[in-house]
Amino acid sequence: MCQRRSGSGVTEQLEMLRFVNVFKSYQTAFGETPVLHNVSMAVEQGEFCALTGPSGSGKTTVMNLAGLLDRPDAGTIEIGGADTSNLEDGAAARLRNLTIGFVFQSFHLLPRLSILDNVALPLLYRGVSRADSRLQAMVALDRVGLSNRVRHRPDEISGGQRQRVAIARAIVGRPSILLADEPTGNLDSRTADEMLSLFSDLNRELNVTTVIVTHDLGIASRCGRQIAMLDGKIVF
C-alpha cells in the first residue's frame, strides 16, 4: 500500500511517517516553554528505528505528535503520505486507532480489565464484535507468549509480562506504525533485550514501521537506524 513504482519500474520505499518543520511549545505557569524547534524527519515504510537523546530533549513530545496524541503548533505531520494537520479530533482518533500502535513506558493497562479485555479494547473501539475482538486478542497474546495469562489482571503479572500485554494491545489492530516510548525503561537488562528481539521480530513479520525511544545505546545499536535528538532538534 505504501510502495510506489517509479517510471523506471524500480520499486521505491514510501515514507510512512514524516515531520516537516514541526514546532511545539507547552504552556506552563511560567509561560510558554518551547520544546521542538523545526523538527523534520522521515521514517520509511517497514523501517526499524531508534529515537535517542538525553532526558528532556523532546523524544516523548515527538512520539505523542507522531501517534496523534497531540498536535504541533506549526509544521506538518504526514502519515502514509497524508497530511494530518487538518484532521478534526474525531478523525485523528480514528486514524490513530486504524494505523498506530502505541506502547508506553508505564504500560497504561486498565487495572480492572483482564489481560484479554485490555488487548481486545482497540478492536471494540473500532466496532469489532466482542467475540471477534477477544479471538484476535488471543492471537496477539499468543504471539507475545502470554496465552496462558489471559484471565489475569495487570497487577497479577510481572513488569515484563505487562509490557508484552501492552505490545499485544498495540499490534492487535495490525497497525502500519508501531511507536514505543522507552518500552524497556522499567525492565531489567535481560528482559529489555528479549523485548527488543520481540519488537524486531514483529517489525519483520508484520512489516510494521517501528520507532522505539531509548537512551540505552546497546538497544539503539540493534535498531536499523538511529535518530538522535538534542534540545528539541534532530542532530543526526
Ligand X SMILES: Nc1ncnc2c1ncn2[C@@H]1O[C@H](COP(=O)(O)OP(=O)(O)O)[C@@H](O)[C@H]1O
Residue 58 in grid coordinates: 523532546
Please choose, from the candidates 145, 103, 124, the residue with its C-alpha nearest in 3D space to the C-alpha of residue 135: 124
The 10 Å Cβ neighbour count of residue 53 is 22
Strand runs (DSSP E) across 109-236, as ranges?
A: 177-181, 209-213, 225-230, 233-234
How far, in Å, CA of 123 to CA of 39, rounded? 33
Chosen from ligand X, Mg ion, none, partner binding at 58 (C-beta under 5 to 8 Å by type): ligand X
Q: Which member of 17, 19, 43, 59 binds ligand X (CB under 6 A)? A: 59
Give the binding range for ligand X (CB under 6 A) out of 7-15, 57-65, 132-140, 142-150. Answer: 57-65
Residue 75 in grid coordinates: 509544521
Number of residues forming the site for ligand X (CB under 6 A): 12
With binding defined as CB under 5 A, does residue 136 bind Mg ion? Answer: no
How far, in Å, CA of 138 to CA of 210, rounded? 22
The one-character DSSP state at 9 is S
> Which of 58/183 has CB closer to ligand X?
58
Binding mask 17-36 for ligand X (x = CB under 6 A): ---------x-x----x-x-
> Which of 53/80 has CB closer to ligand X?
53
Chosen from Mg ion, ligand X, none, partner binding at 11 (C-beta under 5 to 8 Å by type): none
Residues that bind ligand X (CB under 6 A): 26, 28, 33, 35, 53, 55-61
